[in-house]
Structure 1
């Protein structure tokens, strides 16, 4: 293995047969290139799912009312379910030991005006704890607080892009603007990792909105976060328990799937990651198949190489070369070609992935990349595959009798 003369002989052989070497190496380069790009794009798909769910805290549960589609306890089917403040209070009472933050949410599309500027935005009426569930980042001023809820104040925390659209270069904090012709004061400006869509929202106190809209206590949905210590299985149990409690309160049949909707961010993320993992496994085997196709290609070329050097190998054996020496020489040459061209394939593959960047976001692929562990794995596979590819022709060459080899033309 560490015989300097053998290494010099291998490189001299490669140098004398450039075309043959290039043909042998090209299949390996192409195989590892396709493997790297496909596996990297699979990682890019998983990155997209992580990015999609990073807008909200991962221990968040969203609860929506639906329609009771089955008759139950004297109530008719297709009955619309409506949440009220008492539903939020009930969940806080029942599950206070497992939840951290709770908030109601009422969403309305509203015309917003400041001086001569106006636009249509989504106004979310919420409780102060909504800030932690939505991972809202306060840039200036503050978020809605408990005093706003208690006193039904007409204040608003606006998104960064709302400020840019309506206020231009002005600092919006402390300014007054109108929501459906009702005057509110801006108390804060926020940004959000969710991007432009989230930063065009406006937050107001839920109590103020309920007072303005016919003095009602109705709410559109309930959001809450649970203690991370309960884990994913605990989150699933909590989701089931919440659904059961609310179904009992609103007289919904236990088998009715449409009366109450409970969505857990971590469960949705797990489901999507499972899908991504399945796709990545498929991509992995396709890439691995391409890699092995390249290895088969180099094996076929090594068969040709051994055939071409039959006379040379016969002379070596006639001079006393052992079969193991012949096999080792051919395997070493195969391994060198495989490693050099395989490494070239890895470099090209990484260059292609880096060039993609985030250009494929429209195809749900974000920052495609290959981890260091995958590169090491691919390298080991390359070396082992190269040895396997060269072993069969090497063993055949070692079995050739010197007298037969010397007669070869």
Structure 2
């Protein structure tokens, strides 16, 4: 495509979030994650490995993350590049041995983060997880490059297969223009959505027109829509 090498990696950025939010009227909310690999968490003499990710505040509501205590990442964390962290209940038990972790400082590899919240269970259901502000993660672990792994959007006013397919094609076309790849290349990005799964629910409940999509590099979560490269 236009002389580029085969298998060129397409990397989504914060700019793509702005595009989705401002240029697609069907998009209701936009959030994002940046996966930062596994890190060693430590408090006192206790430690464990956990998956680290940077997230935007709306991730909690869209993904349905439940907070056991404290709070999720907020806009001040994002704006001020705070070293705030959420850990899941399993991680809290290992590190703090039953003591209250809120307001305490943990080490994430060589850096220190303040625990502002504890998620119920683990945030990704299968592994210990530590969540920090997206901007902090990009600054510290990605050399301040604005890359994200997945953009999560809620979509409204899409009720038919035809509307869904047209919306998908417009997303592909716009991202292709932004990142200079062939919009017909199915290997550049993938799209998966929840609309097929909720058709019966739409009949039962009289119409559901808000769907969740993921656009990015990350793993497709249960019950959401994905577009990835």
Which bracket does the TM-score occupy, shorter chain normalised?
A: 0.7 to 0.9
State the secondary structure of the residue aligned to 1:231.
coil
Q: Tell me which residue corresponds to 2:58.
A: 129
State the secondary structure of the residue aligned to 1:83.
coil
Computing the radius of gyration over CA atoms, which structure comes out larger, 1 or 2? 1
1:287-325 CA-to-partner distances (Å, cap 9, x unmatched) read: xxxxxxxxxxxxxxxxxxxxxxxxxxxxxxxxxxxxxxx
Q: CA deviation at 1:251?
A: 1.5
Name the structure with the higher strand share. Answer: 2
Select 2:30's aligned residue among 102, 105, 111.
102
Distance in 2 (alpha carbons) for counterparts of 1:250 and 1:195: 29
Distance change in 2, residues 1:74/1:196 (3 Å): closer
Distance in 2 (alpha carbons) for counterparts of 1:77 and 1:132: 38
Contact 1:246 1:260 in 2 (8 A): no
Distance change in 2, residues 1:150/1:78 (3 Å): same
Q: Tell me which residue corresponds to 2:213.
A: none
Name the structure with the higher helix share. Answer: 1
Distance change in 2, residues 1:192/1:263 (3 Å): farther
Q: CA RMSD in A?
A: 2.2
- In structure 1, stretches of 5+ residues that fail to align are 1-71, 272-409
Q: CA deviation at 1:80?
A: 1.0
Q: Tell me which residue corresponds to 2:190.
A: 261
Q: CA deviation at 1:270?
A: 6.1
Distance change in 2, residues 1:121/1:193 (3 Å): closer
Select 2:92's aligned residue among 145, 150, 163.
163
Distance change in 2, residues 1:263/1:192 (3 Å): farther
Query: Normalized against structure 1, the TM-score is what?
Result: 0.45
Q: Tell me which residue corresponds to 2:202.
A: none
Distance in 2 (alpha carbons) for counterparts of 1:221 and 1:265: 16
| TM alignment of 1:186-201, pairs within 5 A | 186-191=115-120, 196-197=125-126, 200-201=128-129
Select 1:91's aligned residue among 20, 38, 47.
20
| TM alignment of 1:9-408, pairs within 5 A | 72-95=1-24, 97-107=25-35, 108-191=37-120, 196-197=125-126, 200-213=128-141, 214-227=143-156, 229-231=157-159, 233=161, 234-267=163-196, 269=197
Q: Which aligned segments of 4 or more residues in structure 1 are displaced greater than 6 angstroms?
A: none
- In structure 2, stretches of 5+ residues that fail to align are 200-229
State the secondary structure of the residue aligned to 1:210.
helix
Query: Normalized against structure 2, the TM-score is what?
Result: 0.78
Contact 2:65 2:119 in 1 (8 A): yes
